[in-house]
Structure 1
Amino acid sequence: MKRKLLTTAVCLALAIPCAPGVALAQEAATATPQQQDAGDQERNRDAKDLDTVVVTGSRIPRAVQETAAPTFSITAEEIQKQGFRNVSDVLRAQPLATGAVQDNQSAGGGSFTAEATTISLLGLDPSFTLILMDGRPLADFPLLYNGQSNFTDLSSIPVAMIERIDILPGNQSSIYGSAAIAGVVNIILKKYLEGVQLDLRAGGYTEGGGGNERLQLTGGNRFGDLDVTWGLQYGHQDPIYLRQRGYTDSTDDNPNPAFRYGSRIAIILDGFTGQYNDPGNGCDAFSQLYGGTVIKDFRPGRGNFCGSREQPAFISILNEEQGTAGYLSGNFALSDNADLYATLLVSRNKVTVDTGSRFWIPNYNAGTGGYIWNSAEQTLETFQRIFAPEEQGRDGGFYDSNSMSYSAALGIKGALGDSDWSYDAYYSRSGFKVTSDQWWPLVDAMDQFFQNQFLGPQLGTYYGYPVYEPNKAAFYQPITPDQFRGFSDIIHNVSRTWTQNLNAQLVNANLFQLPAGPVGMAAVVQAGNQFWDNPVDPRVSGTGFFGINGTSGQGKRENWAAGVEFSVPVFSKLNANLSARYDRYRNVGGGSDAKPTYKLGLEFRPVDTLLLRGNYGTAFRAPDMGYTFTGSNGFFTTQTDFYKCEIDPANCAARYTGLSIEGLQTGNPNLTSINAKSFGYGFVWSPSRKFDLHADYYNVYLSDKVVPQSTTRILFEENECRQGRLEAGSQTCIDALAAVTRGPVNAGSPLLSETLNKITVKPINIAEERVSGITAGGNFRSEGRYGRFNLGLEYNLTLDHKARTYPNDPVTDYFADGQALTAEFKSIVSGDAGWEIGRFAANVHGIRYGSLPNYARQFSTTTNGIAPGRVRPWMVYNTTFDFKVSDRSKLSLIVNNVLNSRPPNDPSWDGSQGFAPPFYNVFAYNGYGRSYWLEYKIDFGQKL
């Protein structure tokens, strides 16, 4: 009821003009030559004498930051007050970031990029958000998000050098080009500092793990006509393990009692009965593993086995990290009308991810599902061993990633004589290099080891199954780290990306006069290219390593663009902003695409205190380099073999349903751009400098979205073709039959005949998606005898999010029962309450994440006895307490998640979905708990 009332109120506010007031529309933070207190800036700035600044979303200088498209800004001071640890935390805490993403917590669940972080604006794919630094694009992270698409990593951007972050939701391609569909994030670095500032921070987590330290040193000076700004940052963070949290340290924490048994360390499974062989006293040999927690456990329906209820708790959910960054910015006055400038940001990060245990089953590459024929007992069996940390040693379960990133620009800017024309021409380049290493078992070497240990030599085959006479007593023996290394090897990869551009723009804020005022114009031309190289060890993409696939590919693409923007005063109270841009991309080696985009924005100010605005625009996403150039990305999927079910229906449910199938995704050089359209409207009302209010509606529609072919659809069509219900010579049948790889016909063993081995898919332009919602918020400031107070609130409500993969498919509603296959928040609200008096300041920042459907509700069915429902909203509070020790130094205590709020309980998130533990949705919540930092900052150049 409360949500409906709030939605109704916001919608009415969008439609009904507000009462006039006495001051200018909403004021916002600007980049100033000196670091002043934001409150002082606001009090001292006259509403009619604002500095002219260039804002994100427009290349034309304006007196007021608010334009036809809403812009959300987070200043460096706000980042510190709200207690955020890094850029990723800042952006993921914004109400616009409603989508679930993979992060550190996905390390044990198959994340391809556990060392990187990103965001999902408006619930759309991370690749649809354009991340800029000082208005210039950053290179993609070399590894592919979810093994499929390119994205921008946020973890390499140091907080020390940030002046502010601007976020523009919705289509912005007519200004910034490709990828600006969900929105643009522009990270603006510091350009002018005086003196030297030192910032030291240290802290940790009250429940253990995650201890961290950070040192920041920034400064700047003027040497005649040269301004120099520089910065250094060093940070270190210890890992957090699931075993360090009381609600994730054991399978006994499972909300479903039926699953409160250990993870399998050693099992022997009878292929005919589906029962485990009782290990007897065999588990005693493993008792010292996993910290001494291995026991003979019992699994209902299976029997006794050797397991540990703490095995999953040895996975890290927060990485061990160590990083350094350096920043240098310079501006040299060549003359009164021209400046030469340059910036360079370099970051190095080392990340260690504990991805958990490796395992073994016999004859992994034989296509028999790990089953062997036991000639002594005349039965079908499979064996499984999961190696404990004590067996793997330091080399075993860890993934080490070393990355180096850089962003550089060199340019000249100035005015053309005494005219109103100004120019800015620059060359920019950014790049990423990631070196990764991990030990992994080799199939043949590991099979040979266990043959020597207990299986014995292979004695031929029996209906396709390898025949052995195993010594089961010898199976129940731990191995040593030396033995693990003996049948393992290092997977070493070096991946690179870079992006470079030449850019020139002309600006004239007074092109010519109309009766209502001057017409402004900006024109830009751009040319550049980008490169992606993600090689893979051939043993990973082949059959050399056990149970692992990789992503690989290499490609280069050239692009050029031209754009123009006009600001036109239609009459005294109405201003129009029109922008258009043409982009062309050409893949080196073949394939090209071109896309024009445009945008129209209107700003209507019936009175000085009220802005009514609206915008409509088009956008695009150039074909993703990962989707275009990938060589062979491996993945695993759970599917039903429709063909085997039809020819052997008696075994369909038991043998051919829920199969774990290896998939292979190849690139498609013929992809075209993803298209998008968006519109929005809203208002900004500021009756005084103490109060402002805003609300906006957004609607984004995507067509020709790139998605991998559906493995389920391919298997269904393959069976239809084999049964003759589809014409064998049709293109559908040709494609489906070529995509499915099966084993040979085995007349003696129907179960092993034409086994489903692999499915090959490629990405195609076919899907469509729409998202709409409302953003709203306001700020109140007051100053008096009892100090300075400020209150702020930001709210985002997603009204609708739907998608369709194929034209004839039913529409998927992300918020409907049984269709929400990903965790996306329908609503997020954040707020601040701050107080300053004398030397003391305090701020409370709260975030409320709306409720999500529980796992059972996602499929509209009772899951293990848990009925469909919703998990409660999640609220997190951060506090900051500042004390000015002197005019130049400040001591701060920062506590995040003050109430130590745990992720909401979901009784149906019990492991049956393959993501447990931890027993919460790791894509939507984090289980880190309460964190704290003590920070000391001193400025050797000016007062704080």
Structure 2
Amino acid sequence: MKNSQITLRGSTALFALVLAGATAATPAFAQTTPTPTPSTTVPATQDNSSQDEGTIVVTGSMFQSAAGAATPSPVTVVTAENLDKRGISTVQDAIQSLASNNGPALTNSFSANGAFAAGASAVSLRGLSTNSTLVLFDGLRAAYYPLADDGSRNFVDLNTIPDDIIERIEVLRDGASSTYGADAIAGVVNIITKKEVKGFSARAEAGISDRGDAPSYRLTASAGTGDLDEDGYNAYLSGFWYKSEALMNKDRAYPYNSDDQTGICFEGHCGGTAVRNNISPSTGQVVLSTGANFMVRPYDITNTTTPAGSRYQNLSGCGIGTLVNLTAAQQTATSPSSVCQYDATNLWGTITPNIERFGVSGRVTARLGDTIEAYAEVNFMQSSVDYTGFPATIYGTAPTGIYGPTFSTSSNTVPPRAAGSGILALPVYVCPRANGASATMVNGVPTVPGCTAANGTLNPNNPFAAAGQVARLIGMDTSEVTYNATRNRAYRGALGITGNLSDNITFNVGATAMHTDLRRTQDGYVYIQHLLDVIADGTYNFRNPSATPQSVRDYLTPVNVVNASSEQFQFQASLSAAVVDLPGGPLQIGVGGSIRYEGVDAPSGNSDINGPTQRYFTLNAFGTSGNRTISSAFAELDAPITEWIGLNASGRYDRYSSGQDAFSPKVGLKVTPIKQLVLRGTYSRGFRIPSFGEANALPTTGYVTPSSSAFTNAYLAQYGAACTVANFAAGCPAYVKQSYGLTTLASPNLKPEKSRSFTAGAIFEPMRGISFTVDYYNIKKTGAITSPDTGSALQAYYAGTAIDPTIRVIADAPDINNPTAKPRVAFIESTLINADTINSEGLDFTASADVKVTEGFRISTSLEASYILKLSTIVAGHEERYDGTLGNFNLTAGSGTPKWHGSWLTTFDFGSLQLNGTVNYFGGYNLSAMDQGDDYKDCGSSLGITPCDVSSYVTFDMSVRYKVNDKFSIYGVMNNVFDRMPPIDPVTYGANNYNPVQGGQGILGRYLKAGVRVNF
């Protein structure tokens, strides 16, 4: 196993030589009107209003200020040129790389690993989840993605932002509810598009890993006419196309490509294996799996008693699996003499899905006199994501649905969810289903009503039918895999007019309308009633599934197509005036109002409203629908009291048609004791409205992996002497360690979350071109929407003690290898409540320098890093701390919250030749999570086969750009130069043996891109 490789492979070495002799592209965008280029600490233009070249509008403010002036709130600005230098091709990749983005971010790779919001990408500032970061498009809100993150959190999909017209990305690292309203608790990401394009510009780019896989392609073109200053107008049209192909687990080295963890060892402790029908390392005997080929075992006609000495036997062949003949010692009392083994991750696992995106944008901007400017813009974006998954489940439980089963209030547990009572078995007789009648379950045996020996035939799939015995069935059709696809189309239009009514009075009016259409297509999933039907009438060939008529296979796994949509309409207007001159400058007062409509309609594709058999195995029942209108009024005051003291205050009142309201104040202070030093700070209050997913949704189930701390030795003893808490990884069967579902029920009675935040920082510029900043932030959310403490319910079930009466624990189907053992937990079901207090505090650092070495040669460098001091939740008076650990599972699904995240970019600019290098750093974390019953950093979730602390992850990127002439330039990029693979993490959910958020694009390995740009 090799996590880093410094020696360049042959193809990489050749590419490096090409880079050394190549020239770099200038920024990969069409020519734009020059605008001030702010540093990472200086705010930039908020919208597309007309500005004097020396003034800008700060994100989070209504007022213009001098370009380069510091503000009370910390702001990070990422320009299009910055992205080119770092070799970043898409907006979503750029935002995911932000130092302040941490914890429960949603990446595209999650789309291939069971994400609720498949096909989307979202940012999570400060580790506070995707619903506490507000994403704006030119200062205006965008429509939510129709699907919610983890089935509850609304967010804006970063994939709906067009890559080709981005001028810069501004990140307000401070609460901004006083300006924008809900969702801006952790900060604001404002994506600014180009106001003006002149001439024609185009780009072509292609990339591939040095292993020859995961190719990507990018094309952009922009054309514009008119000059705002000379002609009084500009109009442009721009389009782009981007595609990246899927990467499979089998295309990466061990252990990312396997379910076998026996090669992952630490201090003499090695992992077990989840290979289907594997040989247990601890017992040396086979562990039969329901996820392999079909196997059957005889039972009497009541499906309750098996003949003495009976065993499972293979009903179907191995398909693409491996036939293993078992020795006598490897067999159990019920196993066959040979089994088919499958390493499912190696055969079917997907790391990243297929992604294809394209879009078209058009804009017209016109000067209406000397001081007024108006614009109109339209955008269309389509994002398509698809991947193939594992074979469909035949035997198993389905996620709990809308109308969950009744449960015992004395034990707070419910029996296993199954298609009827008993364990699924093949009948003795099969009969045609007259007029398409549905089969029913009798003692776990699918039966055509009225089917008897007199009118039926012996079941050809049941080898025990002649003896009058049913055949209990386990396994799946390994020749057919599941398929998931999303296609999201976003339509957006925006209008605006801004300018000066007089020397002292300015106005800004803007309106936007955005609509998204999402189509979800899922194929290969077994519909439960149809499974009963094809078993009862004998039309499905379980002995040779590939010989089953296609019509029957299609009936068993009907294509599920669901259409969802979301909308956002907004109109806002503001007026500001300089009313009096103070010693430090004019006192400015601004007022404004806004009205917007937002709605989501995402019906369930797998409702169990008609009963548990009228749905699919493993597909979530998620669905939500709702809309609301929000009326808002806001005001701001900016008072430069003296030349070295400035005060800013703002407030906003929001009223929701759903009955909630909130007032959000904010005050900021800036002190400049000397020219080289600025001290700043803010205090604000904000709120987050309950999402449609939290208030209106159907139940949703997310899956997490239990740690050893969830179990007791007494419970585990029923699975063998070697299965103990201390030997959990290697000694316990895969069945016990399988993930369980956390089912969340929405509540219309939720109240808004409230927040209090403050920042304090300093900007130090000892000399021109060199600057340093440090900012402290502290955010406190009260009434945070969460599930009750499900970790205690999990422990109580396995300990046999009382369970919180507000939580339902649902047992799994019995283990086929230990049918008399108490089943493990399949689902924990709970209703969302306003209960927690969440605290997030940390430090942000930046450092930058731009030095002219000689005529025609400059060196610039910039570093940005964020450090989480503490991220914790107060639950029922008890503090659970998550920074530097896997938690909070409610927010991250176990993807963790590393303390550090940062990057360092250095550029050597020789004029026509530019060399860039970027160091990317993502901190490590401890394998523990207090909301899963662990103590803080106690290694409680570790399997014992890796160190307690997952190591930090460092990668290095380089790019070379060369400008051949004013019209032609070429460039090359090498990401992850030293081919470092992500640190091994066998615990984190969402990827196989690594963390998909920390690992990011690093799992691709060394990645090479080259491109060309023309400009006329």
TM range (shorter): 0.7 to 0.9
For 2:665 and 2:773, the matched residues in 1 are separated by 25
Partner of 2:574: 505
Q: How far does residue 573 in structure 1 lie from its aligned partner after superposition?
A: 0.8
Q: Which moved more, 1:200-209 or 1:710-719?
A: 710-719
* Counterpart check, 1:937 vs 2:971: no
* Counterpart check, 1:901 vs 2:971: no
Amino acid at match of 2:605: D
Amino acid at match of 2:593: V
What is the aligned-residue identity percentage? 22
For residues 558-637 of structure 1, the aligned pairs below 5 Å read 558-587=629-658, 592-634=659-701
For 1:241 and 1:88, the matched residues in 2 are separated by 22
Task: Determine if contact 2:490/2:515 at 8 Å carries over to the other structure.
Answer: yes
3-state DSSP of counterpart to 1:246: coil
Task: Determine if contact 2:293/2:477 at 8 Å carries over to the other structure.
Answer: no
Deviations 1:723-763 (A, max 9, x none): 9x99xxxxx96x66xx67899xxxxxx98999999765322
Partner of 1:531: 599
Partner of 2:815: none
Task: Determine if contact 2:885/2:898 at 8 Å carries over to the other structure.
Answer: no
Amino acid at match of 2:132: F
Residues 281 and 575 from structure 1, CA distance in 2 versus in 1: closer, same or farther, beyond 3 angstroms? closer
Residues 858 and 60 from structure 1, CA distance in 2 versus in 1: closer, same or farther, beyond 3 angstroms? same
Alignment TM-score, normalising by the size of structure 2: 0.75
Amino acid at match of 1:413: T
Q: How far does residue 326 in structure 1 lie from its aligned partner after superposition?
A: 0.9
Partner of 2:8: none
For residues 807-826 of structure 1, the aligned pairs below 5 Å read 807-815=876-884, 821-826=894-899
For residues 826-841 of structure 1, the aligned pairs below 5 Å read 826-841=899-914
Residues 558 and 200 from structure 1, CA distance in 2 versus in 1: closer, same or farther, beyond 3 angstroms? same
Residues 297 and 895 from structure 1, CA distance in 2 versus in 1: closer, same or farther, beyond 3 angstroms? farther
3-state DSSP of counterpart to 1:445: helix
Unaligned runs of 5+ in 1: 1-30, 43-48, 457-473, 727-731, 744-749
For 2:583 and 2:767, the matched residues in 1 are separated by 29
Task: Determine if contact 1:585/1:622 at 8 Å carries over to the other structure.
Answer: no
Partner of 1:447: 532
For 1:133 and 1:600, the matched residues in 2 are separated by 25
* Counterpart check, 1:353 vs 2:387: yes
Amino acid at match of 1:202: A
Amino acid at match of 2:595: A
Deviations 1:706-734 (A, max 9, x none): 113445667899999x99x99xxxxx96x
Partner of 1:922: 996
Residues 32 and 691 from structure 1, CA distance in 2 versus in 1: closer, same or farther, beyond 3 angstroms? farther
Partner of 2:195: 191
For residues 19-34 of structure 1, the aligned pairs below 5 Å read 34=33
Deviations 1:623-642 (A, max 9, x none): 111111113435567899xx
For 1:782 and 1:235, the matched residues in 2 are separated by 36
Q: How far does residue 599 in structure 1 lie from its aligned partner after superposition?
A: 1.1
Partner of 2:864: 794
For 1:669 and 1:854, the matched residues in 2 are separated by 35
Specify which of 135, 138, 146 is matched with residue 134 of structure 1: 138
Task: Determine if contact 2:869/2:883 at 8 Å carries over to the other structure.
Answer: no
3-state DSSP of counterpart to 1:441: coil
Q: Which moved more, 1:444-453 or 1:73-82?
A: 444-453
Residues 834 and 419 from structure 1, CA distance in 2 versus in 1: closer, same or farther, beyond 3 angstroms? closer
Task: Determine if contact 1:71/1:169 at 8 Å carries over to the other structure.
Answer: yes
Task: Determine if contact 1:295/1:308 at 8 Å carries over to the other structure.
Answer: no
Partner of 1:384: 474
Partner of 1:465: none
* Counterpart check, 1:255 vs 2:229: no
Task: Determine if contact 1:530/1:558 at 8 Å carries over to the other structure.
Answer: yes
For 2:826 and 2:356, the matched residues in 1 are separated by 42
Partner of 1:9: none
Partner of 1:70: 74
Task: Determine if contact 2:293/2:314 at 8 Å carries over to the other structure.
Answer: no
Task: Determine if contact 1:362/1:370 at 8 Å carries over to the other structure.
Answer: no
For 1:33 and 1:362, the matched residues in 2 are separated by 58
For 2:124 and 2:941, the matched residues in 1 are separated by 30
Q: How far does residue 837 in structure 1 lie from its aligned partner after superposition?
A: 1.1
Residues 402 and 813 from structure 1, CA distance in 2 versus in 1: closer, same or farther, beyond 3 angstroms? closer
Partner of 1:892: 971
* Counterpart check, 1:286 vs 2:340: no
Task: Determine if contact 2:895/2:988 at 8 Å carries over to the other structure.
Answer: no
Q: How far does residue 305 in structure 1 lie from its aligned partner after superposition?
A: 2.9
For 1:603 and 1:301, the matched residues in 2 are separated by 75
Alignment TM-score, normalising by the size of structure 1: 0.81
Residues 301 and 403 from structure 1, CA distance in 2 versus in 1: closer, same or farther, beyond 3 angstroms? farther
* Counterpart check, 1:341 vs 2:401: no
Partner of 1:880: 959
Partner of 2:353: 319
Q: How far does residue 78 in structure 1 lie from its aligned partner after superposition?
A: 0.6
For 2:1015 and 2:540, the matched residues in 1 are separated by 69
Q: How far does residue 282 in structure 1 lie from its aligned partner after superposition?
A: 6.7
Task: Determine if contact 2:237/2:363 at 8 Å carries over to the other structure.
Answer: yes
Residues 686 and 697 from structure 1, CA distance in 2 versus in 1: closer, same or farther, beyond 3 angstroms? same
Task: Determine if contact 2:719/2:821 at 8 Å carries over to the other structure.
Answer: no
For 1:157 and 1:751, the matched residues in 2 are separated by 54
Q: How far does residue 673 in structure 1 lie from its aligned partner after superposition?
A: 0.9
* Counterpart check, 1:435 vs 2:523: no
Q: How far does residue 313 in structure 1 lie from its aligned partner after superposition?
A: 4.0
Partner of 1:492: 561
Q: Which moved more, 1:826-835 or 1:777-786?
A: 777-786
Deviations 1:903-924 (A, max 9, x none): 1134xx1xx77766x2212243
Bigger fraction of residues in strand: 1
Q: How far does residue 148 in structure 1 lie from its aligned partner after superposition?
A: 1.9
For 1:38 and 1:810, the matched residues in 2 are separated by 44
Unaligned runs of 5+ in 2: 1-29, 42-51, 278-291, 298-303, 398-417, 426-443, 446-461, 724-732, 813-818, 930-935
Amino acid at match of 1:521: I
Residues 690 and 338 from structure 1, CA distance in 2 versus in 1: closer, same or farther, beyond 3 angstroms? closer
Task: Determine if contact 2:32/2:198 at 8 Å carries over to the other structure.
Answer: no
Specify which of 662, 668, 679 is matched with residue 758 of structure 2: 679
Q: How far does residue 650 in structure 1 lie from its aligned partner after superposition?
A: 10
3-state DSSP of counterpart to 2:532: helix
Amino acid at match of 1:580: G
Q: Which moved more, 1:600-609 or 1:295-304?
A: 295-304
Residues 481 and 56 from structure 1, CA distance in 2 versus in 1: closer, same or farther, beyond 3 angstroms? farther
Task: Determine if contact 1:516/1:571 at 8 Å carries over to the other structure.
Answer: yes
Partner of 1:516: 584
Residues 838 and 537 from structure 1, CA distance in 2 versus in 1: closer, same or farther, beyond 3 angstroms? closer
* Counterpart check, 1:365 vs 2:419: yes
Residues 278 and 55 from structure 1, CA distance in 2 versus in 1: closer, same or farther, beyond 3 angstroms? farther
3-state DSSP of counterpart to 2:82: helix
Deviations 1:499-551 (A, max 9, x none): 1111000122x221223331112222111111110112355665321232221
Bigger fraction of residues in helix: 1
Q: How far does residue 575 in structure 1 lie from its aligned partner after superposition?
A: 0.3
Partner of 1:12: none
* Counterpart check, 1:143 vs 2:143: no
For 1:200 and 1:61, the matched residues in 2 are separated by 37
Residues 669 and 855 from structure 1, CA distance in 2 versus in 1: closer, same or farther, beyond 3 angstroms? closer
Residues 663 and 692 from structure 1, CA distance in 2 versus in 1: closer, same or farther, beyond 3 angstroms? closer
For 1:757 and 1:901, the matched residues in 2 are separated by 37
Specify which of 44, 50, 54 is matched with residue 51 of structure 1: 54
Amino acid at match of 1:568: A
Q: How far does residue 446 in structure 1 lie from its aligned partner after superposition?
A: 2.0
Partner of 1:244: 251
Task: Determine if contact 1:249/1:310 at 8 Å carries over to the other structure.
Answer: no
For 1:763 and 1:276, the matched residues in 2 are separated by 49
3-state DSSP of counterpart to 2:640: strand
Partner of 2:411: none
Task: Determine if contact 1:268/1:276 at 8 Å carries over to the other structure.
Answer: no
Task: Determine if contact 2:809/2:827 at 8 Å carries over to the other structure.
Answer: yes
Task: Determine if contact 2:388/2:482 at 8 Å carries over to the other structure.
Answer: yes
